[in-house]
């Protein structure tokens, strides 16, 4: 076991040099984790289970890495506080040196920071895993990574990540049985557990900043229904939500609604079903009524990144500037007034608005302060795939489903952070196996920008995820004839407000 002393307040170069000097035990690996936020703890816990490995956790936030490592109390964990952004020459140079000595790197930094980390990993010959969507900047590094023999594995979280692996594995089995996927939907949502969702009119709570959720309410989306492209403008997204049909496992037990999730079109090719699937849809799950209420917040301008009106510093002033008071709100429903009142905007308990905040910033701070998880509450992760399957040999068509329900621990680690952190950590472990005796002499070489739709990735990760509590329940429903659009597990599309159908060639 490598015994590591807590990092002192050293210069970046000295701190990282001290980390580099802590060699793993024989047969162990040196792993660098960048970022020590909410998803880091489950990842660090899994990666440090082997006492022979050394896991260095780096954060720019004072005390963050130390708290994460102290929570586990393992001697093979080393926290470092270093500002290692590319703009900080000393910290960045020292980090690049450390990455050059590492066997793998897990980046839990914001997505915009992955590309420079990936370049450093290519230069150092170090495999990299991230939980974020693969960006254009990362894709631009593919050929360099291939030439260097370095894998850059992205989208190893919950969504994207666990959804990719479970869907790809399900589709592969359909193919092996001679079937063709004619319609595909994949739904995912991180929500409060049902027993604590009713304590707020939004039926929603936040375990981290609401800014991302607010921003996502303005994302445009598109998907296909019966071969036609259906487009949803960003300003119409919230009003495009549809109830989750009770034909699904989740829909039979929970009152949920579905929002289109960005651009579903590339996923037909990613999953290899572009030649056969006439309908492809990816959606976000929320409890029923969430989208309608948030749409009214948007109508009041509360989700816009616009400057505050001059002189506004309190919530009553901000709402009054939009014609909303506790007793008069011509532009808002009674439900919105009640929701705002529950957030404390008129009773003096809402925080004062920062002078440099936008309206969306102020709304995010309000939600964060009033809709955080209370002691004893827990979150939930819901995911469901539904595939319509046709058989060319005349067998009856089927609907195959695969669903996941996972709950966090009250007063403990959330299911959201576990699903992201554990998936990412398993990606690191898979890359560490490359070239080892356990990977086998004929193992598929991994290099370049990768996603977890590769069998060599999901065959490794899915059984281990099941052992960690992320097991899928599958079902098969047989149909007498081929499915129609009405049976397709996705929004009705062209009949839904905000949807605009276009030809597939548009």
pLDDT digits (tens, 9 = 90+) for 453-486: 999 999 999 999 999 999 999 999 987 544 443 3
Backbone angles phi, psi at 240, to 5 degrees: -90, 0
Q: Is the pLDDT of residue 248 over 70?
A: yes
Query: What is the pLDDT, as a whole number, of residue 272?
Result: 96
Q: Are 318 and 357 in contact (CB under 8 A)?
A: no
Q: Is the pLDDT of residue 18 over 80?
A: no
- Give CA separation, 472 vs 169, 220, 251, in Å: 11, 30, 16
Q: Output the CA angle 84-86-88, nearest 5 degrees.
A: 65
Residues in CB range of 353: below 8 A, 6 or more apart: 308, 312, 313, 314, 315, 318, 362, 365
Task: At 187, list the tokens.
Answer: 């739904």
Least confident range of 71-75, 386-390, 408-412, 436-440: 436-440
Helix axes of 162-176 and 455-467: crossing angle, nearest 10 degrees: 110
Which carries the bigger pLDDT value, residue 333 or residue 215? 215
Query: What is the pLDDT, as a whole number, of residue 194?
Result: 95
CB hemisphere CA count around 396 (13 angstroms):
9
- How far, in Å, CA of 214 to CA of 364, rounded? 7
- How far, in Å, CA of 213 to CA of 299, rounded? 16
Q: Are 458 and 452 in contact (CB under 8 A)?
A: yes
Q: Record the pTM.
A: 0.89
Task: At 12, list the tokens.
Answer: 């970046």
Q: Is the pLDDT of residue 298 over 90?
A: yes
Of the pLDDT bands very low, low, confident and very high (cuts 50, 70, 90), residue 497 is: very low
The pLDDT tens digits for 333-375 are: 888 999 999 999 999 888 889 888 999 999 999 999 999 999 9
Q: Is the peptide bond before 287 cis (omega within 30 degrees of 0)?
A: no
Averaged pLDDT score across all residues of the chain: 88
Q: Region of 254 please: left (phi>0), alpha (psi -120 to 50) or beta.
A: beta
> How many CB atoms sit inside 10 A of residue 437's CB?
7
Query: What is the pLDDT, as a whole number, of residue 435?
Result: 55
Q: Are 216 and 283 in contact (CB under 8 A)?
A: no
């Amino acid at each position: 076991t490598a015994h590591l002393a807590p990092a002192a307040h050293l210069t970046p170069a000295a701190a990282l040099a001290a980390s580099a000097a802590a060699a793993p035990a024989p047969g162990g690996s040196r792993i660098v984790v960048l970022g020590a936020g909410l998803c880091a703890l489950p990842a660090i816990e899994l990666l440090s289970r082997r006492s022979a490995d050394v896991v260095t956790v780096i954060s720019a936030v004072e005390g963050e890495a130390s708290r994460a490592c102290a929570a586990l109390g393992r001697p093979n964990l080393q926290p470092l506080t270093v500002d290692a952004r590319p703009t900080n020459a000393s910290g960045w140079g020292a980090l690049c040196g450390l990455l050059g000595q590492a066997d793998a790197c897990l980046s839990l930094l914001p997505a915009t920071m992955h590309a420079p980390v990936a370049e450093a990993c290519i230069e150092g010959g170090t495999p990299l895993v991230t939980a974020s969507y693969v960006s254009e900047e990362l894709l631009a590094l593919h050929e360099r990574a291939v030439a260097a023999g370095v894998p850059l594995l992205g989208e190893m979280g919950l969504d994207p990540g666990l959804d990719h692996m479970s869907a790809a594995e399900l589709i592969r089995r359909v193919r092996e049985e001679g079937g063709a996927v004619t319609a595909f939907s994949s739904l995912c949502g991180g929500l409060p557990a049902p027993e604590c969702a009713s304590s707020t009119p939004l039926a929603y709570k936040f375990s981290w900043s609401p800014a991302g959720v607010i921003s996502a309410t303005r994302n445009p989306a598109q998907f296909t229904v019966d071969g036609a492209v259906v487009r949803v403008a960003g300003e119409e997204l919230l009003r495009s939500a549809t109830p989750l049909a009770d034909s699904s496992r989740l829909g039979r037990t929970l009152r949920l609604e579905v929002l289109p999730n960005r651009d579903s079109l590339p996923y037909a090719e990613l999953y290899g079903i572009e030649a056969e699937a006439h309908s492809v849809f990816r959606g976000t799950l929320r409890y029923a009524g969430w989208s309608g209420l948030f749409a009214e917040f948007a109508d009041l301008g509360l989700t816009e990144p616009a400057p505050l009106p001059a002189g506004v510093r309190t919530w009553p002033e901000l709402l009054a500037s939009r014609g909303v008071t506790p007793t008069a709100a011509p532009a808002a429903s009674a439900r919105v007034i009640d929701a705002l009142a529950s957030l404390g905007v008129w009773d003096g308990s809402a925080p004062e608005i920062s002078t440099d905040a936008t309206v969306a910033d102020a709304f995010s701070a309000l939600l964060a302060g009033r809709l955080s998880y209370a002691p004893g509450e827990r979150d939930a992760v819901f995911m469901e795939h539904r595939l319509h399957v046709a058989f060319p040999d005349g067998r009856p068509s089927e609907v195959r489903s695969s669903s996941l329900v996972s709950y966090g621990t009250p007063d403990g680690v959330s299911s959201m952070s576990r699903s992201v952190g554990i998936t990412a950590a398993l990606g690191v472990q898979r890359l560490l196996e490359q070239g080892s005796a356990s990977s086998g002499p004929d193992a598929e070489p991994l290099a370049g920008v990768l996603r977890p739709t590769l069998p060599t990735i999901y065959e490794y990760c899915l059984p281990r995820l099941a052992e960690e509590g992320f097991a899928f329940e599958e079902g098969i429903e047989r149909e007498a004839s081929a499915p129609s659009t009405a049976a397709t597990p996705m929004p009705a599309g062209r009949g839904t407000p905000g949807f605009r159908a276009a030809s597939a060639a548009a």
